[in-house]
Structure 1
C-alpha cells in the first residue's frame, strides 16, 4: 500500500518524540499546540498506523511510532544534505563535497589537506565530519559523504580503498614526565598511572609489534579531541599515530614526541566510490593529502610518516 505523507508533518512528529510532548514541540517549532496535534493526526491518517499510545498521561510512541522516529532522522538529515547541495549549486555552480574523517586524522591534518585542495582547485564548499573508520566506509557507501579517510579496509564492489600513507605509533609525553628524557620509549616502561589511553572511537588496532600495548593499563582514557589537554593536565603520556602527534606537538609546546622501541603503525586509506566522475576529484584530494603529510616529514617524523602510492 502506498503511503503519502507530508515532510513537514514528519518533522513535527520527530520533534514531538524528541521533546516528549506536543506542548514542548510547539515551543521548539514556534507553532501552536493544536497545529502540532493536527499534524500528528494527519500523519497517522496518511501512514495508516497509530503512532502514539494515548492510554497514558504522557505521549508514548507505539512500536510503529518508534520505528518511524528512528527512520525519520535519516530522512530529515538527507533533506538537509539535499538542501545544502542545491544551495551550493546555486551559489557556486557545483554541490559541496563532504569528507568523513577518522578522529586520528581530524585534529589538524585533514583540515590542512582540505585547505590545500581548495587553494589548488577553487572555493567549492567542502565540509569535514568526524566518523570512525567503519562509519566512514558506510558514509561513502550510502552517499552521505563523497570521500572517507580511515584505517579500515573491506571488500566492496562499490568502493575503492587507496592507501596514501603509513604513520608509526609514537609517544606524546609531558616534558616533566620521567620518560621524556629518553630518546626512545619502551611500551612496557610506561607507568599505568600516567598513561592516558586514547578512545579511538575507531575500533582499530595498530599493526606491528603491539603485544605490550594490548596489555598496557591506563589511569585515564580520553577521546582524541580531549587527549592532548588530558596528557598536559596529568603531566602524563599517551600513544598516538605520528600525524596526530605532529598536530598535538604544534599546539602544545610542553608535550614532546618520542619514537617507540617497538614498531607499530596505522595504514590510512582514502575511501571513494567507483564512479568515473569521482576519480579526478579523488586524485586531486590524494595530491593534497600527500602534500600535507610530506610537510610533516621532518625531524622525528621523517621516518615515522611514510607516503604510499
Structure 2
C-alpha cells in the first residue's frame, strides 16, 4: 500500500526542524506552537513509516532519509519563493521586473554599463542581477528563477531560445613588457609550459583552448590553471606569463599593462542572450538584449 505524498507544508516543517535543530526553534521560524511542530513531525513519521530525526542532548539530528528528502525538496522552495515574488509584483501593480544572470566576461564587462543607462530610462523597472557560471545560469533560466541569461559559447540547448549578440574569437594576453607583446599573432608553439596560464579543462573555454593545441599537434602544458578568464588576466598582469582568454575579459579588464594579441588557430567566441523556450521574454527584456548587442558592437 502506497503512503500518501508529503505536502508542501509538511516539507516546510521538516525543513524548519532541520535548520533549527529543535522543535522550539522550528516553531519560531514557522509561527507555530512547539507542541504543534512535535505533533506534525510524529504524524509525518507515521505517514512515511520511518523516523526522520534522532534526539541527542535535546537536539534533533536528521536521519539520512530526512537529509535526502530535504535536499530533493529544496528546488520546490526556490520556485515557491519566486512565485510569491511574482504575485507580490502583481499585487503592487509594478511596471516590470527583470531577473538577469550573466557569466563573468559579460557580467563584469559590458552589462553593468548597459544596465546603468537602461535603468535611467526605465525608472520603475526593478532588476535582479548576478554573475554566475554558465551551467548554473542555464538551470535558473530553465526553471524560471531568471528571465534572461547572458553567456559565451552557449551551444545548442533544447529548452532555451537564444539570440546571438556578437561573434568574436579568443585572444592571447600578456604584459606589455612580455616578449609576446612584440608579435601580432601568437600560436600554441609560442606558449611554453613555464610561462602559460591555462583555463580549467572542465570548462567550455578551457576545452576549446586544448582542442586548438591538439589541432596543430602542440603538447598542452601549463604552469598555472584557473577557472575564470578574468583571473587569468589578473595573473598575467602580475607577471606570471601569458594566457588565452575570451576577448571581453581582456577588453574590459581595465589594466594598462595588459597587451592583447590575436591567437591562431582561431577559437570562436560567441556572446549570446537566452531565455526559456516555454516563457517568451517580455518586450522590456528584448529591449535590454538589443542594447547589449549595440554596446558590444561599439566596444
Quote the offset at 1:53 in angstroms.
5.1
Quote the offset at 1:177 in angstroms.
2.4
Counterpart of 1:226 (choices 227, 231, 239) is 231
* Matched residue, 2:198: 197
* Matched residue, 1:124: 125
* Matched residue, 1:100: 101
Distance 1:238 1:13 in 2: 49
| Residue 291, structure 1, aligned to residue 294, structure 2 | yes
Quote the offset at 1:117 in angstroms.
3.3
Quote the offset at 1:52 in angstroms.
3.4
Distance 1:201 1:132 in 2: 12
* Matched residue, 1:240: 245
Quote the offset at 1:36 in angstroms.
7.5
* Matched residue, 1:45: 43
Are the counterparts in 2 of residues 159 and 274 from structure 1 also a CA contact under 8 Å? yes
Distance 1:40 1:218 in 2: 58
Distance 1:282 1:159 in 2: 15
Determine helix, strand or coil for the equivalent of 2:66: helix
TM-score when normalising by structure 2: 0.77
Quote the offset at 1:246 in angstroms.
0.8
Quote the offset at 1:201 in angstroms.
7.1
Quote the offset at 1:65 in angstroms.
0.8
* Matched residue, 1:256: 259
Determine helix, strand or coil for the equivalent of 2:297: helix
| Residue 143, structure 1, aligned to residue 144, structure 2 | yes
Quote the offset at 1:185 in angstroms.
1.7
Distance 1:194 1:264 in 2: 20
Instruction: Give ranges in structure 2 of 5+ residues lacking alignment.
Output: none
Determine helix, strand or coil for the equivalent of 1:263: coil
Quote the offset at 1:192 in angstroms.
1.7
Quote the offset at 1:12 in angstroms.
1.5
Distance 2:67 2:87 in 1: 31
Are the counterparts in 2 of residues 5 and 43 from structure 1 also a CA contact under 8 Å? no
- Closer, same or farther: CA 282–69 of 1 in aligned 2, 3 Å: same
Distance 1:39 1:227 in 2: 51
- Closer, same or farther: CA 51–77 of 1 in aligned 2, 3 Å: farther
Distance 1:14 1:233 in 2: 46
TM-score when normalising by structure 1: 0.74
Are the counterparts in 2 of residues 206 and 266 from structure 1 also a CA contact under 8 Å? no
* Matched residue, 1:302: none
- Closer, same or farther: CA 186–22 of 1 in aligned 2, 3 Å: same
Are the counterparts in 2 of residues 168 and 266 from structure 1 also a CA contact under 8 Å? yes
Counterpart of 1:210 (choices 209, 212, 215) is 212
* Matched residue, 2:17: 13
Distance 2:221 2:35 in 1: 54
Q: Which runs of 4+ in 1 moved over 6 A?
A: 28-31, 35-38, 55-58
Deviations 1:32-82 (A, max 9, x none): xxx779746624524633453528788653343122221343233334434
Larger Rg: 2
Determine helix, strand or coil for the equivalent of 1:179: helix
Determine helix, strand or coil for the equivalent of 1:145: coil
* Matched residue, 1:73: 74
Distance 1:29 1:56 in 2: 19
Q: How many residues align?
A: 285
Are the counterparts in 1 of residues 54 and 63 from structure 2 also a CA contact under 8 Å? no
Determine helix, strand or coil for the equivalent of 2:125: coil
Instruction: Give ranges in structure 1 of 5+ residues lacking alignment.
Output: 297-309
